[in-house]
Amino acid sequence: MMMRKLTKFNHTMGFQITHSNKPKKVKPFSCPNNDDDNNGGTNGGSLIPDDVPGYASWLAKHPSALNMFDSITKEAKGKKVIVFLDYDGTLSPIVDDPDKAFMSAEMRMAVREVAKHFPTSIISGRRRERVKEFVQLSNVYYAGSHGLDIMAPPRAVKACDKKGNEGAFQPAKLFLPAIQEMSIELEDTIREIQGARIEDNKFCISVHYRQVPPKDHEMLKEKVKSLVGNRPNFHLTEGKMVLEVRPSIEWNKGDALNYLLDTLGFSNAKDVLPLYIGDDRTDEDAFKVIASRREGFPIIVSSIPKDTIAWFSLRDPSEVLAFLLRLAKWKKSEIHFFK
């Protein structure tokens, strides 16, 4: 029934989507019609930047979640919306110094309001404790190290590991000594490269090169790849001006999303709509999970065209802020309507 409703919804908006149950076969919506919200593409939505080649055609395939807001909430009405958010580039701007990636007071207020109405999780590549320091909210779930370190908020359903132990869920805990050793080796490897820096994210190690001279980028990458290539227990992924060394276990942000749905008791629910907003390659794993469910909304944050499985888009954190405020306002109005 739910699949038929979503198929009808997609057809109404002019979307095309395949029906394979295999996540890798899922294709993002194409040829959407952005007129549902009667916004004319400007009422809180994305203005097409003239200086970005191909952005207009990309936006046609990944329409603004602000412009499509009425259609999104129409599908969400009467359902359990679960909100998942990346941090860097989503709730905060990308900055040269990762220690200064502060979120605004307005964004904090918006996330707090959303979390009052919907179970809300922040899934980041950063160390869980560091993300919590930035966000400063007690009513959200925190998943650090790309979901390798998950903790529930106080007074919420307590997170537990697969053996039933309450507390943080840490599937890579046995890797900690090896991760610490690898961090020391990476420090020695990049020590002489100007601008390179290591960030200890507990269950993964981030090598930032945003401040490295462009001429040294490839040298840094080769050094890190060479070191990681000799360690079968680790693998390397890339993000925005960052290399990330992770333990080689089957776990990513998509697995974290599924784990959190299960922890919240919604893994098998038919009326659940997960909503995930993120900006980086690592968020694609979560987008893929939502796309395979055929229920929910994967939203990419980007002001340039990029390959993504996300169905909708937002240009930057300012549009994420606008979207979250509208989401909280919509839920408030719905609650007042039924009182």
- 149-153: which pairs have CB atoms within 8 A and are 24 or more residues apart? 149/202, 149/203, 150/256, 150/259, 150/260, 150/263, 152/263
Annotation says 86 is catalytic: yes
Q: Give the residue extent of every domain in the chain.
A: 55-158+256-338, 173-247
pLDDT digits (tens, 9 = 90+) for 101-116: 999 999 999 999 999 9
Measured between alpha carbons, how far is 299 from 54 in angstroms, rounded to an integer?
A: 19
Residue 142, beta-bridge partner list:
122, 151
Q: What is the mean pLDDT of residues 204-227?
A: 95
b or e along 23-44 (b: 16 or more beta carbons within 10 Å of the residue's beta carbon)?
Answer: beebebbeebebebbebebeee
Which residue among 36, 86, 88, 279 is the active-site one? Answer: 86
Q: CA-CA distance, 148 to 246, in Å (whole number)? A: 10
- What gap in Å lies between CA 205 and CA 207, rounded to an integer? 7
Q: 197 in the Ramachandran plot: left (φ > 0), alpha (ψ -120 to 50) or beta? A: beta
**306-316: per-residue pLDDT in tens?**
999 999 999 99
Q: Which is it for strands 141-144 and 297-301: parallel, antiparallel or unpaired?
A: unpaired
Contact 172, 180 (CB under 8 A): no
Residue 22 has φ and ψ, to the nearest 5°, of: -90, 125
Looking at the structure, give the CATH architecture of the domain made up of residues 173-247.
2-Layer Sandwich (3.30)
- Inter-residue contact 257 to 274 (CB < 8 Å): yes
Superfamily grouping for domain 55-158+256-338: HAD superfamily/HAD-like (3.40.50.1000)
Mean pLDDT of the chain: 83
Strand partners for 272:
80
Share of the chain above pLDDT 90, in %: 68
Q: Report the largest interatomic distance among the alpha carbons of the chain, rounded to a whole angstrom.
A: 64
- If one compares 162 and 146, the residue with the highest pLDDT of the two is 146
Token couple for 294: 């055929």
* Tens-digit pLDDT profile for residues 259-297: 999 988 887 777 899 999 999 999 999 999 999 988 899
pLDDT at 335: 63
**What pLDDT is stored for residue 49 in this prediction?**
56
Q: Is the pLDDT of residue 44 over 50?
A: no
Pick from 23, 5, 74, 17: which is nearest to 257 by CA? 23
What 8-state DSSP symbol labels residue 35? Answer: T
